[in-house]
Amino acid sequence: MPSRTYSFDEAADKLAQYISKHSRIVFFGGAGTSTESGIPDFRSQDGIFAEQQVYPHAPEIMVSRPFYDRDPEMFYTFYRDKLIHPEAKPNVGHYVLAQLEQQGKLQAIITQNIDGLHQAAGSKEVIELHGSVHRNNCLSCKKSYPLATVLESASVIPHCSACGGVLKPDVVLYGETLNEQVIANAVRYVQHTDLLIIAGTSLSVQPAASFAQMGSQAATIIINRTSTPFDHEADAVFHHSSGLLLEAAFKRI
């Protein structure tokens, strides 16, 4: 049961030691891993869900499938404003993870994020639990489109150039179920890891919480600015910025 508070340098040293002696590392990241790239998270005090209400409905409502079906114009207005960040670039944490993968130490990244920054940094084995803004599908003919199609659409609601159907981002909205094959792939990696690094997530929702439990046979590190329900089960908990801490640890390996 971790009981001590680590300074940044102590945390970097200890994280470097864990990374050095493990070779089947799995990284599980939440919205906090992208805040250093300028993308706001959801549930923190500065997150999207805590913002002063400027829309006619709560964010949780507007990013739900029923709302998308009922009012796609308002959905896309909110989606473009709050969930798409084309200007965002990978931060140091993304690049460190890509380097660890290239070295053969990191087996996979499991992410709750939809921004595609892990791939932009060069990571290959990225399991996107909630989909990606970079994939958009026509609900009628199933043709796929890149993010540019949504950004460059002359109308608020982007349409398929082939059949005129409405496009939907390949993002799991509230009220939709996660892809079973994607979940199974993530579970497989978590069950076979020797070091599970959990970062930038409060572990307050599923399947994040279950992943933390599945990795109980492996060494587990939690990097998050605030406490999580699983801190007492981790081998070490670091309340620091995940990107900067990963960078500092990588330099010590």
Active site residues: 130
Rg over alpha carbons for the chain, rounded to the nearest Å, is: 19
- Give the span between the Cα atoms of 182 and 29, in whole angstroms: 15
Instruction: Give Cα 115 distance to the centre of its chain.
Output: 8
Length of the chain in terms of residues written:
253
Alpha-carbon gap, residue 184 to 73, rounded angstroms? 34
The enclosing H or E element of 26 equals strand 25-29
Cα dihedral 111, 113, 118, 123 sign:
positive
Residue at 237: amino acid letter: V
User: What is the DSSP pairing of strand 106-111 with strand 131-138?
Assistant: unpaired
Q: Which residue has the tokens 């920054």?
A: 117
Give CA–CA dist 41/241, Å, rounded.
Answer: 13
Query: Torsion angle, CA of 114/216/36/175, rounded to 10 degrees?
Result: 30
For residue 73, count CB atoms less than 10 angstroms from its CB and return exposed for 0-12, middle for 13-18, buried for 19 or more: exposed
